[in-house]
Amino acid sequence: MTDRVAASTAVFVIAGVALVGCGAAPGVTLRDGSETLPACPITKLAPSTISVVGVPGCDLEGSGVDISELASQFDIEVLGPPGGEPSLTIPAAGAVFSQGDGEGRELLMVNWGADGIGLALIDNGQLVNVWASSETALELQGEHLKLEGVG
């Protein structure tokens, strides 16, 4: 079965082909084997160190991305739990997680399974920065952002 990440700014997990209305949604195909990856040990990453991870060889689901270093670019008060470090939990392989601040800024994360993860900072539909754990994840993230209409 082929997994697809559909273009949407909601949190969802795709198994098979995503459907919107009566037709298949456009999406980016995950590499085979993404759904059967063993779990990685739970870890916390910073956006600036995501690229160091590379292709992890395991599923990063459940690990976190510490977004405190984005404080100057993003209203982290909206994202972080009261009194805690602002972080995002990496979703399941094939899932998209998006968190906005209500002012047009958004963090969009995709777990690309066998190819790692991608994280994008978007301001009013324009890409501000993108981080990925591998070159392939970066390419997939770029394809997904195009489907989202991000410039």
Instruction: Give per-residue pLDDT as tens, 29-45.
Output: 888 888 889 999 998 89
> Tokens 């995002």 label which residue?
88
Q: Using 50, 70 and 90 to split pLDDT, how confident is the model at 26?
A: low
- Retrieve residue 52's tokens: 């160091």
Task: For residue 33, give the 3-state DSSP assignment.
Answer: coil
Q: Considering the entire predicted model, what is its pTM?
A: 0.77
Beta bridge partners of 20: 23
- For the chain, the domains span 4-148
Residue 150 or 75, more confident: 150
Which pair of structure tokens corresponds to residue 120? 């994008």
Largest CA distance in the chain: 44
Unique residue bearing structure tokens 């063993």: 38
Q: The tokens of 109 are what?
A: 């994360």
Contact present, 92 and 111 (Cβ < 8 Å): yes
